[in-house]
Structure 1
């Protein structure tokens, strides 16, 4: 695993270096905006941080989703509850397929909210937010703590927005996000209880 990680890091560095060398530096552009060429470079680098967030998302959120399924599959196969359940390959593929389907069908709504509505993001700001979110989620995954990629990334975007002052944030959008966070926890608990007793009564 360590060798694979080192190889992946080296490959990413080579690809990123080649992509950055292809960025056209325009000295005239800096006259209108001093950091134009810097933003162009970070637009390329942001691809790497976006991939890092996707990796972190898979290491935590998707694991949260397929964990209960893996446990149920193990109970159905062995007839007993084990402290550690192996995760079949098809379960992991199912989780990956769910990510792709969700992104293709409704992901654009979240992309628009985080990428445009909370605060104005430039490549440097987006790079900073994604790097912070990816690092936080990966550390949480390594310690076995389930966290939300969305919550973490929204917090990171709020951080880069606050760096420019409270006026740079759309407080109405942020308020709606906070309300949704407060609603989803009890809503999930209530629906889970309902479905449990519904199917228990249906099949018992």
Structure 2
């Protein structure tokens, strides 16, 4: 029976990205906050015009956020299947879906269902329970977190940085929730650290630690039952 060893180098990259992504997102949020603060104070835009620009800005960065989420987090949903399943191409005549594209489509639908059904409480936690966020603050948070997801998913950006002999980030899936929370925390610290619910942040941090541990335990238990109860070879 063929055995598969864990690639510790890849695992280290994933764990490193898991730790670094909220820090990077918070850094982006701090930079964006001071840029927009300086620009808005200097521009003195009328309140109604500012509201109009903010609404359109939120729509644009929201679309960018959805794109970055799909580009990065689809690996969390369907990435494990790409190397073990051979799915034939599906030909519609005018359009052909490869096996990988079919998996991506299924994963995208699953993410959409999750957004519609169970995302409200999570959104309320991030959007108001950690700290009160203004519309412009929301723009900064979404842009910072989306940029973080994008830099961990863009092969073109990685190749460009390598061409310039600059350090590049690994192309690994990172947590969108960690990126958003990091951006919210960065924004709050840039504003002086007032009104940040650090108690809730502590609970979120514990959740970040317990999530992979819980997933590993569940995976171990399922593997044990498959191999010892159902006598099924998994690997």
Give the alignment's TM-score, normalised by structure 1: 0.72
Counterpart in the other structure of 1:132 = 144
Check if 1:115 corresponds to 2:142.
Answer: no
Counterpart in the other structure of 1:170 = 197
RMSD over aligned Cα atoms: 2.1
- In 2, the alpha carbon distance for the partners of 1:39 and 1:173 equals 30
Out of 44, 58, 77, the position equivalent to 2:70 is: 58
State how many pairs are aligned. 162
In the superposition, relative to structure 1, how do residues 163 and 36 fare at CA in structure 2: closer, same or farther (>3 Å)?
farther
Out of 187, 191, 201, the position equivalent to 1:160 is: 187
36-45 or 189-198, larger mean C-alpha shift: 36-45
- In 2, the alpha carbon distance for the partners of 1:131 and 1:169 equals 20
- In 1, the alpha carbon distance for the partners of 2:201 and 2:53 equals 30
Q: Cα offset for 1:40?
A: 4.1
Counterpart in the other structure of 1:44 = 56
Correspondence 1:1-204 to 2 at 5 A? 36-37=47-48, 38-74=50-86, 87-142=99-154, 143-201=170-228, 202-204=230-232
54-63 or 162-171, larger mean C-alpha shift: 162-171
> Any stretches of 5+ residues in structure 1 without a counterpart?
1-33, 78-85
Retained in 2: the 8 A contact 1:46–1:127?
A: yes
> Any stretches of 5+ residues in structure 2 without a counterpart?
1-44, 89-97, 155-169
- In 1, the alpha carbon distance for the partners of 2:106 and 2:79 equals 12
Report the 3-state secondary structure (helix = DSSP H, G, I; strand = E; otherwise coil) of the residue aligned with 2:102. Answer: helix
Give the alignment's TM-score, normalised by structure 2: 0.63
- In 1, the alpha carbon distance for the partners of 2:46 and 2:143 equals 20
Tell me which of the two structures has the higher relative contact order, counting C-alpha pairs closer than 8 angstroms and 6 or more residues apart. 2
Report the 3-state secondary structure (helix = DSSP H, G, I; strand = E; otherwise coil) of the residue aligned with 1:72. Answer: coil
- In 2, the alpha carbon distance for the partners of 1:54 and 1:186 equals 28
- In 2, the alpha carbon distance for the partners of 1:192 and 1:186 equals 10
